[in-house]
Amino acid sequence: MKTQVKDIQANTIPYSEIIQVLSHGAEALLQDLKSVPRVNLQSYYVEIENILQFMETLCFIQETMSSEKLQDTLHNTVHSILKAVNNIPQKILVQLPEVPLDNKSGIPNFLVQSIHLLGPSIRIGKNEMAAWVSLDADEVVYYTPEILIDCLRNFGVTKGFLEDRIQDLFESKKYDEEVCIAKGISSEMGEDGRIEYTVDIDDLGQKPKELSSYKVSFKDIKLYEYIAQGNVIANKIPPKPGKPGFTVTNRIITPIESLEAVFPDMDFTKISDDDNHLLVTEDCCIKKLNGVLQLEPSLRIPESISYKTGNVSSKVAVIVDKDVLTGFELQSEKSIQIGGIVEGAKIEAKGSIIIRGGIQGKEKAVIESNADITTKFISNATVNSLGNTVAESEIVNSQVWAGGQVFVTGHPGNIVGGEINADSDVVANTIGSELGIKTVICIGGRAQDLAAMIRETQDKIAGQEEAVDKCNQIIDMLHMRVSQSSVSNEDIKNSLQQADIMLTTAKQNLEELFSESDSLQKQYEDSIQKSRTIRAQVTIHPGTVIHIQDAELTINDSTGPALFLKQGNEITKLPYQSMQKSE
């Protein structure tokens, strides 16, 4: 029977050792047969002599033979000796002193050893991940599961033995057929490193906000995410190494190396010192453009605020290239620039607001800024600013409040209808209309409002100071009770704890009120220093009502170019003077 193995295993068969074992065993068998007294065994040992002569020849020519041919020759030789031995009576075999017999098979040990060295028919897969064996039914008597495994080890199969299948091979007598008796284990892929963002970048896009009752708001679309300077926008997750495998020949299968993740090249970011975090270097908004994540220190919207964008609330400056449509809201913790027109929308910024196309408010627009508001025109809108409000061409039928000045100095430069409130000057070409449309101009009222707010804050401070004193008194009293008591009183301890919390809260409130009072006082001092004039370069029409602090004047006749201010308790008209830069 031929042993079929890969070349590398075939080369491990100890051919010289097998030839030597067979030669020595056959020689010992021959000598023992010749020494048996009173028995003519010539017919038995003649065949043995012929085999020995062949073995001598084989010793010289084995180097010239291929492994496959040599295997076949040795198998045939073993079977020839086995056939000769089987012809010898058993009672004679057991008497041969130099030829011990195998206990299981009853044949000479040297033949069993040679069979084991040659091994059964073994096939190893090309990738060495499995091995199969086929036991010849005539040779199975020479094997046990343990001996078979030893033979497999001799041929290089050293790992992944399927012991249940090997046992079943013998128990189920699966002879003369291939049985898989060993399997390797494939290597397990690891995980490449990855970049994990701290914001849900998949959620960025034109997707309406889901509301209750299976409804959605098409005005609330998450186009971007805000991230503050110094915050982490992405973390690097390290790769996980794979697990090595092995073949049935114990060749280690190295898994493909897991790759390290690389941070994307993004503006306004830097990599942390430990190389594991991507940090933002400026306050930015996070957007996706054509599926690519981008950071920008300002949020630029290249279209109108509409159902396509939804409402926008930003912690960075916002630039809108087109319009803001009716019913939508735009808010920024910093400044806002709008390239087109604002319709009946709500605009709010802590910084300045610039609206290049103007405000067509439709009696719905509300524009609010903690700084200046600059626009082309204001129509049918409410506009509030803590700084100056500047309209290039006109303000029509609007409610305008400014903590500074109101200017309408372009062409035609009109203020018609509505009410204008400013803490300082109001400057226009024309105020009111020839049709007598009521137009109200109020300046200087903020100082009085601030004074009232300061008084209110002082009252609150007095109330909180009283609360602090009461808390201190309660705490002192509770401490005294604790010192006078010889046993622990949980009620007193709980009351003391509550009093400490109340005291801390009162002190925090007091600190905030002092800060608020200081801010109001500064605003008041700034307010009383401001100039307060109403200036019309062309005229102020009848129907206009002027308020300067607590004084009031109704215009009954066109004034022509004029300047109005308060002198004493009355409003006085003076010749028009343009505003000086120092003013």
User: For residue 83, what are the domain limits?
Assistant: 7-183
Q: Average pLDDT, whole number, for the chain?
A: 86
pLDDT tens digits for 287-304?
777 777 788 888 888 899
Number of structural domains in the chain: 4
| pLDDT band at residue 225 under the 50/70/90 scheme | confident
pLDDT tens digits for 228-262?
889 999 999 999 999 999 999 999 999 999 999 99
Whether residues 157 and 259 share a domain: the answer is no
Pick 442 or 522 by higher pLDDT.
442
- pLDDT value at position 79? 84
Give me the sign of the Cα torsion angle 413, 419, 424, 425.
Answer: positive
The 3-state DSSP class for residue 492 equals helix
Q: Is residue 289 part of a domain?
A: no
pLDDT tens digits for 14-37?
888 888 888 898 888 888 888 877
- Domain ends where: 345, 371, 387? 387
First to last CA, the chain: 116
- Decide if 259 contacts 239 (C-beta within 8 A): yes
pLDDT of 38 > 90? The answer is no
Q: Is residue 400 part of a domain?
A: no
Q: Could you give the dihedral angle defined by the CA atoms of residues 25, 28, 34 and 40, in that order, rounded to the nearest 10 degrees?
A: -30
Q: Is residue 546 part of a domain?
A: no
E strand or H helix at 524 = helix 490-528
- Decide if 370 contacts 352 (C-beta within 8 A): no
Whether residues 253 and 317 share a domain: the answer is no
Structure tokens at 332: 């920024």
E strand or H helix at 457 = helix 445-484
Structure tokens at 215: 């409804």
| pLDDT band at residue 486 under the 50/70/90 scheme | low
Pick 252 or 42 by higher pLDDT.
252
| pLDDT band at residue 274 under the 50/70/90 scheme | very high
Structure tokens at 442: 């109020």
The 3-state DSSP class for residue 73 equals helix
- pLDDT value at position 200? 73
The 3-state DSSP class for residue 175 equals coil
Whether residues 378 and 302 share a domain: the answer is yes
Share of the chain above pLDDT 70, in %: 92
> DSSP per residue over 202-267, as a string?
GG-SS-EEE-STT-EEEEEE--EEEE-TT-EEEEEEPPB--B-EE-TT--EEPPPPPPPP-----T
- Decide if 543 contacts 418 (C-beta within 8 A): no
Q: Is residue 566 part of a domain?
A: no
pLDDT of 217 > 50? The answer is no
Whether residues 103 and 160 share a domain: the answer is yes
CA pair distance 149, 138, nearest whole angstrom: 19
pLDDT tens digits for 311-321?
988 888 999 99
Average pLDDT of span 452-481? 87
* Closest-CA residue to 98 (of 33, 174, 42): 33
Whether residues 138 and 78 share a domain: the answer is yes
Q: Is residue 147 part of a domain?
A: yes
Whether residues 451 and 523 share a domain: the answer is yes
CA pair distance 99, 94, nearest whole angstrom: 8
**Residues contacting residue 307 through CB under 8 Å, at least 6 positions apart:** 218, 219
Q: Is residue 245 part of a domain?
A: yes
Whether residues 238 and 119 share a domain: the answer is no
Q: Tell which phi-psi region holds residue 362, choosing left (phi > 0), alpha (psi between -120 and 50) or beta.
A: left
Q: Is residue 533 part of a domain?
A: no
Whether residues 211 and 252 share a domain: the answer is yes
Angle at the Cα of 407 from the Cα atoms of 405 and 410, rounded to 5 degrees: 170
| pLDDT band at residue 43 under the 50/70/90 scheme | confident
pLDDT tens digits for 487-518?
567 777 788 888 888 888 888 988 999 998 89
| pLDDT band at residue 8 under the 50/70/90 scheme | very low
Q: Is residue 188 part of a domain?
A: no
CA pair distance 371, 386, nearest whole angstrom: 5
- CATH code for the domain of 475: 1.20.58
| pLDDT band at residue 12 under the 50/70/90 scheme | low
Whether residues 276 and 302 share a domain: the answer is no
Whether residues 24 and 157 share a domain: the answer is yes
- Decide if 367 contacts 351 (C-beta within 8 A): no
Whether residues 50 and 136 share a domain: the answer is yes
Range with lowest mean pLDDT among 86-95, 270-279, 539-548, 557-566: 86-95
pLDDT of 397 > 90? The answer is yes
Please give the distance of CA 43 from its chain centroid, rounded to a whole number: 89
Highest average pLDDT, of 103-117, 190-204, 291-305, 556-570, comes from: 556-570
The 3-state DSSP class for residue 151 equals helix
